[in-house]
Structure 1
Amino acid sequence: MSKIEEVKAKVEIGKSKLVPGLVQEALDEGNKPEDILQAMVDSMSVVGEKFSAGEIFVPEMLIAAKAMSKGVDVLRPLLAGDGASSLGTCVIGTVAGDLHDIGKNLVAMMIESAGFTVVDLGVDVPADKFVAAIKENENVTLVACSGLLTTTMPALKEAVATIKASGLNVKVIVGGAPVTPEYAAEIGADAYAPDAGSAAVKAKEIVA
């Protein structure tokens, strides 16, 4: 098994103590930081698929995400000088009236590891706060809005409408348990993602 494959396997099962060392060994072998990062992103996509299929649950997903973030810490200095954060800044938050943050935190980790700088506004974020954050931070290219409750669907709609009405040139991605691709399209979002793994893939697609 190559070092990259080992990194991939250990991220998938959440071995956060082993991943940094394996990432370093993979670098020492001459693998490119981007390729190692991609292997970890692929690994998290597998984790995301297993989560969506009900084969694993939130704790396992969080453990894998933590392992990946430890690996990303080793790569970050090498990627930063390489313009890997050229995807810009992503502002993320859970919409007004909603206090759920596990899903949002996973998405933030995944989007950051995909090459964005992440500004996390936390939970219960009013629509105008998203707009303020776009203006306050440099090179914001993406806003990710999460809603986990059916009752906060109107707040999600308002957040997207407010961001779009601001005239700021950003893409908006939405997600959360009650959100569907149809609803995302109806409220004017640029993309919808069912889970953290696909959120990272979609984020890159719509910004690129």
Structure 2
Amino acid sequence: MLSERKVLQDLVKSITDYDEEAASTAAEKAVEEGVGSIEAIEQGVAVGLKKIGEDYERGETFLPELMMGANAAQKALKVLLEHMPQGSDYRGQGRIVIGTVEGDIHDIGKNIVAAMLRANGFDIVDLGVDVSIQRFVDSVKKFKPDVLGMSALLTNTMPKQQEVIQALKHENVRDSVRVILGGVPVTEEWVKKIGADDLGKDAMDTVQKLKKS
């Protein structure tokens, strides 16, 4: 029987090695060894993704490696999400519309956040990636969420977060929803500058902040 620490280390390594098969195997092993899906996602998949994201931001790796790591993480997530608990202690937490902004096709980080929020009893409306400004606005009107979450992995797509907030104001629905931003390049300063409400630094940070609200 493997230790929980070893299982999580193998999961992290499979992602930083960009190894899809190893990632799937490591996730299956985590399930077999009784490691909770939430813990495996937060301390395994998310840690691996954070490392390759930091390497990318420092210029130590490039987009192909980033995408290979994301693909490996997706394989692990597929296994872990099948065993995700429903978070019975936190049902009825509220509705969240979430998506990656226009021009950005990265979804792994968003998917992890959405999975963690679902596990904690939030009702999630996932708009996917490359979401237009108008679709964000229309979704706020249609689904009447408590929270709107916008992810941007690239610095050149961050301005779309600001444009969505401006559009929400124009349509007189900004005050009806809490706006939380996420993504590797997004900072507290950016959140304040564009008039958003909060920054989700990672999946667990986002869950904790929204559960307190």
Common fold: TM-score over 0.5: yes
2:25 maps to which residue? 21
In the alignment, is residue 4 of structure 1 matched against residue 2 of structure 2? no
Retained in 1: the 8 A contact 2:133–2:164?
no
RMSD: 3.6
Match of 1:207 among 194, 206, 210: 210
Query: What are the Cα deviations for residues 129-150 of structure 1, in whole angstroms up to 9, with x where unaligned?
Result: 3232134348553320647269
Any residues of structure 2 matched to 1:99-178 within 5 Å, and which?
100-102=103-105, 104-116=106-118, 117=124, 119-120=126-127, 122-123=129-130, 125-127=132-134, 129-137=135-143, 141-144=147-150, 146=152, 148=156, 155-159=163-167, 161-162=169-170, 165-173=173-181
1:94 maps to which residue? 101
2:63 partner amino acid:
V
> 5+ unaligned residues in a row in structure 2: which ranges?
119-123
Supply the distance in 1 between the matched residues of 2:14 and 2:198 (Cα, whole angstroms).
30
1:58 maps to which residue? 63
How many residue pairs end up in the alignment? 197
Query: What are the Cα deviations for residues 136-187 of structure 1, in whole angstroms up to 9, with x where unaligned?
Result: 348553320647269868635514645884432333316697x764343122
Q: 1:200 to 1:157 in 2, by over 3 A?
A: same
Supply the distance in 1 between the matched residues of 2:191 and 2:66 (Cα, whole angstroms).
25
Supply the distance in 1 between the matched residues of 2:159 and 2:45 (Cα, whole angstroms).
35
2:192 maps to which residue? 185
Q: 50-59 vs 108-117, which deviates more? A: 108-117
* SS of equivalent to 1:2: helix
Retained in 1: the 8 A contact 2:13–2:48?
yes
1:125 partner amino acid:
S
Supply the distance in 1 between the matched residues of 2:13 and 2:149 (Cα, whole angstroms).
31
Supply the distance in 1 between the matched residues of 2:36 and 2:131 (Cα, whole angstroms).
40
Supply the distance in 2 between the matched residues of 1:14 and 1:27 (Cα, whole angstroms).
21
Question: Taking structure 1 as the reference length, what is the TM-score of the superposition?
Answer: 0.72
Any residues of structure 2 matched to 1:25-64 within 5 Å, and which?
25-38=29-42, 39-64=44-69
Supply the distance in 1 between the matched residues of 2:207 and 2:188 (Cα, whole angstroms).
18
Query: What are the Cα deviations for residues 106-130 of structure 1, in whole angstroms up to 9, with x where unaligned?
Result: 4433433544545226436234x32
* CA positional deviation for 1:73: 1.2
Retained in 2: the 8 A contact 1:93–1:121?
yes
* CA positional deviation for 1:2: 1.5
